[in-house]
Structure 1
Amino acid sequence: MCRHVRLFVQVNLLHKSIAVIIKKLFNPAQLFIGSFIILILFGTVLIRLPISLKTAITGVDALFIATSAVCVTGLASVDIPSTFSVWGQFFILLLIQAGGIGILSFAGLFAYFLKGGSSYSNQLAIGSFSNVDRLGEVFTILKRTIIITFSIEAIGAAAIYWSFLQNPAGVPVENPLFTAIFHAVSSFCNAGFSTFTGGLMADAVQYNYGFQTVVAFIYIFGGLGFPIVINVLKYLKHLSNRLLKKWTLKQNYYRPWVMTINSKINLITTGIISFLAIVFIYWLEYDNVLQEHAGVGKWVIAMATATTPRTAGFNSIDFSQLHNPSIILIMFLMWIGASPSSTGGGIKTGTFAVAILNVVSLARGKSKTEVFRREIASISIQRAFATMFLSLVAIGTAMVAITYCDERFSTLEIAFECFSAYSTVGLSLSVTPELSTASKLVLICLMFVGRVTMLSVLIAFVKKVRFTHYKYAPEELTIY
């Protein structure tokens, strides 16, 4: 008995010692990045197991697929259904789910439930990547995130399974239940992976507009961001309570600012960008890639084509057949990406909106950026422009590297792949499988950096300066 007690004490002391060492050696940004690296390496080993494969796969291709799954990108250097068995596809599904929600979120929740709480430093680590101001809300938000994620994926899987039963093409779907679950998870996490050869262009689902619509709504919802979804649900609850009070002739139930400025800006930006993109794709591709579709089908595929670059990556059409203006538009949409704190990538709609608002304010001669009777903090503007600048630096560097390694591809094709990789979209002009090993390694790094963001990488490894109580005299530089 004493030996067991002694062993327990030693293990507990070892655990505390390791925790202290980790706290001293690594900051939250490094832990966040490290969690993704560990998950990618673990996934690489997992999908190379004999039970995972139908055909042999190189180590670079395994690393590419694992990185693409964990970073919820969707770019594939091999054909998923013909290369991986059901077990392999299941492991990819787990990597997508873990990468979509965030391995750090899972770790924090497990620690919370196993220990009955969490340390202050753990809450800081997770809160810094959840955009939560009050530490007490960190795990409340994370619990809601898990519940919302699994609920939407379950509802989506049921809807997709029902669409298979109503399939107008009459082409049977192999393993319909697993396929429905896989596409529901892949859609909500904005991963873009599919168990169909050819993606959503497969005969079984290309003309199944019910399936195409369900998948589109799932990844649009996943791209809104968890804080926005939670805020919208809170607003709908407030609205129903307000109407209930009004109908029952009780006092006026009114609470201002239930819908946050962050939610308003991102929802409006998402709505405007999506609407304009759908109209543009429908008009420009009416007699091109949309020609084989008719009636409502044209609008459904136009919607899927216009919304999937932000940043789902499902290919309902052959993107290599698009007109050049459409390709340029899609690259721009990929760069913008989804909303903050979502499963999608890109610079985010909030960043793009803040940049536009700041430019408009400068054009009007205003020294402050204001919207909805609120002033946007200067730190938000600084982060927005830093994010945009760093994204272009990363994409440009990758383009130069791939152009050097694979000169046979055009600049437009390489640029499309790089924008897709950095924004974790997964769309391709059928170039990815043909890339050299060196180019694939470049895309692996670009997908990883795009998922954790360049700003997080800099925060993780650039030493922070101490806060100073003085400031130098301002000096204006010649900008234009």
Structure 2
Amino acid sequence: MNFANRIRRAGIRVPPPARLVAGLALLALTGSLLLMLPGIGTARPLRLNEAVFTAVSALSVTGLTVIAPGRDLTVFGQIVLLALIQVGGVGFMVLAVLVYRLIGRQMSLEDRMALRDSLGLLSLTEIVVLTRRVFKVVLLIELIGAILLWLHWRTLLPLSEWDAMRYALFHAVSAFCNAGFDLFTGLPQFPDGVPNDGVTLTIFAILIVIGGLGIPVVADLINWPRSRTLSLHTRLTLFIVLWLNLTGALSMFVAETLTAGTLHAAPVGQRFGLSLFQVISARTAGFAGFPNLEALSPGAHLTLIGLMFVGSAPASMGGGITTGTFLVMLISMWSYVRGFPAARAMGRTISQETVRRAGAVLTVSLVVVITATYLIAISHSDIAFLEALFEVVSAFATCGLSLGITGDLTLFGQVVIMLVMFWGRLGALTIVAALAMPRRKTLVNYPDAQILIG
């Protein structure tokens, strides 16, 4: 009898959010132990803090790291890291479906509810079938991305045929899962890190965008040839992703042009292309299109912080408050200004419960970011405020971009960033729901009261 069955027979009911939190914590522990095995590090075994930080960063598909995976990990270590990224990106509940399928067991209702919550779905209908279909599509997209990168890199980069193949596979998975880990940083033959040629960045950008759309949107797009309809969530997500990418790229372009920043001397087309890639990457992935992010203008840094905080779509490979929360708050604000009785968009009314949830996510997320930034600031007097804020928001958004301070963090700072990455991957509502006490039903209604605001 396994541990889950013992809990069930003992009458202990573990809510789906708590299962997700416990599952990710258990995977982080397992990943840390694997990364501390002999043969993982090139020069020496990874220390405990290095292994735990790397495992949490990989499972949360963040990309912040205190080591250089291409330099400090053996091929076996890189395979372990890739497996953690894949599990973190696809989600352990999705993998649980496949395991249940292989051993011929049916998922319990509680497991199906946890799976639904992890994928951001609203219904339990055909959830297992949908999960298997999405997983197949994920593997297919990653394979296509790996083949395209291999065909391009085998002649462009100073790599053997074998290294070109494994580098292509690693970075295709890392890009699609929005992880941001790379094998180039720290190697003397690649002083600028990840190649920033047009073909490489285009392949990365496509993988990042698809991975950042979210499983509900991908599933909706998969079913579109048969249904010929897209849900309101899918239509709004596609709109806000396009809007954020274009306005963010324009903001980066203007900031670097007017302040004579890093891209000032580059041609206009290259300047906008790099700005667009960096904006796409900043929202979810963490790959740096610029050799030196620290040299960007303050306006560009502020743009990246804002985009990282918004993050990717709900139930996607990324984090942040999510585009769904951002869009609901915008729609609610616009509807209030227009005098509408409720938030509405595209001929549909958004429920008050959804607006309340979005407000809760935004508020709790701001508290987490402000608190973590404060803790980093008071414990690291040599780190500037902007650098601390950038690092914390990057961890919260599971993005992975950094202004170069990750390796300078003390053990306390690393623990703070790990907790923020953990929080960012699971989401505010999941963790709050897991920690909340069971609510008792009450028939008591309190009288209304007016509080001055604004």
TM superposition score category, shorter chain reference? over 0.9
Letter in 2 for 1:161: W
**Residue of structure 1 in register with 2:239 after alignment:** 268
**Residue of structure 2 in register with 1:312 after alignment:** 285
Offset of residue 238 of structure 1: 4.6
Is 1:337 aligned with 2:311?
A: yes
Is 1:189 aligned with 2:160?
A: no
Higher alpha-carbon deviation: 125-134 or 393-402: 125-134
**Residue of structure 1 in register with 2:36 after alignment:** 48
- What whole-Å deviation, never above 9, does each CA across 1:307-351 have from its counterpart, x for those lacking one? 111110001212111100110110000000000110110000011
Which segments of 5 or more consecutive residues in structure 1 lack a partner in the other structure?
1-10, 240-257
Contact 1:213–1:300 (Cα < 8 Å) also in 2? no
Higher alpha-carbon deviation: 175-184 or 283-292: 283-292
After superposition, the Cα gap between the structure-2 partners of 1:403 and 1:204, relative to the gap in structure 1 and judged at 3 Å, is: closer
Q: TM-score, normalised by structure 1?
A: 0.88
After superposition, the Cα gap between the structure-2 partners of 1:204 and 1:353, relative to the gap in structure 1 and judged at 3 Å, is: closer
Distance in 2, matches of 1:33 and 1:159, equals 36
Contact 2:196–2:289 (Cα < 8 Å) also in 1? no
**Residue of structure 2 in register with 1:253 after alignment:** none
Give the alignment partner of residue 153 of structure 1, picking from 137, 142, 146: 142
Contact 1:311–1:424 (Cα < 8 Å) also in 2? yes
Is 1:127 aligned with 2:100?
A: no
Matches within 5 A, 1:216-365: 216-239=205-228, 258-286=229-257, 287-291=260-264, 293-294=266-267, 296-317=269-290, 318-365=292-339
- What whole-Å deviation, never above 9, does each CA across 1:221-266 have from its counterpart, x for those lacking one? 1000111112123234455xxxxxxxxxxxxxxxxxx211101111
Which segments of 5 or more consecutive residues in structure 2 lack a partner in the other structure?
none
Contact 2:15–2:110 (Cα < 8 Å) also in 1? no
**Residue of structure 2 in register with 1:450 after alignment:** 424
Higher alpha-carbon deviation: 24-33 or 72-81: 24-33
Give the alignment partner of residue 409 of structure 1, picking from 366, 378, 383: 383
Letter in 2 for 1:354: V
Contact 2:7–2:13 (Cα < 8 Å) also in 1? no
Offset of residue 278 of structure 1: 1.3
Distance in 2, matches of 1:187 and 1:378, equals 36
**Residue of structure 2 in register with 1:29 after alignment:** 17
Distance in 2, matches of 1:197 and 1:205, equals 7
Letter in 2 for 1:305: Q
Q: Percent identity?
A: 28
Distance in 2, matches of 1:261 and 1:207, equals 36
- What whole-Å deviation, never above 9, does each CA across 1:135-194 have from its counterpart, x for those lacking one? 222212211221111011011101111121352xx5446701110010011011100000
Higher alpha-carbon deviation: 424-433 or 446-455: 446-455
Contact 1:74–1:426 (Cα < 8 Å) also in 2? yes
Distance in 1, matches of 2:64 and 2:405, equals 10
Distance in 2, matches of 1:308 and 1:194, equals 13
Aligned residues: 448
Is 1:378 aligned with 2:378?
A: no
Q: TM-score, normalised by structure 2?
A: 0.93
Offset of residue 362 of structure 1: 1.4
Give RMSD over aligned pairs: 2.2
**Residue of structure 2 in register with 1:438 after alignment:** 412
Contact 1:212–1:304 (Cα < 8 Å) also in 2? yes
SS at match of 2:284: coil
Contact 2:185–2:192 (Cα < 8 Å) also in 1? no
Please tell me whether Structure 1 or Structure 2 has the larger radius of gyration of its CA atoms: 1
Offset of residue 124 of structure 1: 1.6
Distance in 2, matches of 1:150 and 1:225, equals 15
After superposition, the Cα gap between the structure-2 partners of 1:301 and 1:312, relative to the gap in structure 1 and judged at 3 Å, is: same
**Residue of structure 2 in register with 1:247 after alignment:** none
